[in-house]
Structure 1
Amino acid sequence: MKIQGKMFLWLSAFILVMAVVYGVWSKEAAGTTALVMAFGLSVMIGFYLAFTARRVDVGAQDDKEADVADDAGEVGFFSPHSWQPLALGIGGALAFLAIAMGWWLLYFSAPLILVGLYGWVFEYYRGENQNQ
């Protein structure tokens, strides 16, 4: 985690320099403000990663002699048969399309998103997949 903190802090220094150059050169407030905010966000992430790196064990990414397999491990459990992400994807696409075409599309996308989210959360609490 130490290297990620350093990377974000170096990125924040670069973004600050670019914000100053962009602000002086273009004299445009919106882009300069966006770059200054990106600098702030990068500093927060870099500080958090550097701060927590001192409190956790050394990871494989901090060891110069480590192999790729040293960082391998369980990623998590993913349901192989779930249809809920499809419903969420279609609902999300319709919701974003509603911004461009018309807000009336939200009447169709909101139920899809809610049903998909409810189904995904409670997928293993009902039906044949219910834990005993």
Structure 2
Amino acid sequence: MKIQGKMFMWLSLFILVMAVVYGVWSKEPAGTTALFLAFGLAIMIGFYLGFTAKRVDAGAQDNKNADVADDAGEVGFFSPHSWQPLFLGIGGAFAFMSIAIGWWLMFFSAPLILLGLFGWVFEYYRGENRTQ
């Protein structure tokens, strides 16, 4: 993770320089704002990865002499069968469509978003996946 953190920090520095050059050269506010926001996002990710790398053991990607097989193993837990992202996606799509079509569409999207969010949070507290 240390390598990825350094890469994002260098990327954020590059984006900052490009944002300043673009802003001075083009005098166009939308693109300049987007580049400064991209700088902020890159520096947040780089800071997070660098901060987390200090707290966890060094991974295989931090070792220059590591093989591909050194990074094998369990990556993490991923839910095998969750319908909640589908509800969140449909609700989010309706919410963004309500900006273009009409705010009345938000009355249909808000329950879908709330239902999907509630279901995702409490997914493993009911049914066959409930822990005792």
* TM over 0.5, shorter chain: yes
1:78 counterpart residue number: 79
Let me know the Cα RMSD of the aligned residues.
2.4
Change (3 A) 1:102 1:33: same
Alpha-carbon separation, structure 1, partners of 2:71 and 2:34: 36
How far did 1:78 drift? 0.7
Unaligned 5+ segments in structure 2 are: none
Change (3 A) 1:58 1:105: same
2:79 corresponds to which letter in structure 1? F
Aligned residues: 131
Alpha-carbon separation, structure 2, partners of 1:123 and 1:30: 40
Q: Does 1:66 align with 2:66?
A: yes
**Mapping for residues 85-100 of structure 1, pairs under 5 Å:** 85-100=85-100
**Mapping for residues 1-132 of structure 1, pairs under 5 Å:** 1-72=1-72, 73-80=74-81, 82-132=82-132
Alpha-carbon separation, structure 2, partners of 1:88 and 1:50: 31
TM-score (norm 1): 0.78
Q: Structure 1 vs Structure 2: percent identity of aligned residues? A: 77
Deviations 1:85-130 (CA, angstroms, capped at 9, x unpaired): 3222222221121122111111111111212222232233234443
Q: Residue 38 of structure 1: SS of its match in structure 2?
A: helix
Change (3 A) 1:83 1:57: closer
Alpha-carbon separation, structure 1, partners of 2:38 and 2:86: 33
Unaligned 5+ segments in structure 1 are: none
Alpha-carbon separation, structure 1, partners of 2:44 and 2:99: 31
1:78 corresponds to which letter in structure 2? S
Q: Which runs of 4+ in 1 moved over 6 A?
A: none
2:66 corresponds to which letter in structure 1? A
How far did 1:3 drift? 1.0
- Report which stretch shifted further, 62-71 or 30-39: 30-39
> Whose Rg is larger?
1
Change (3 A) 1:84 1:64: same
Change (3 A) 1:63 1:122: same
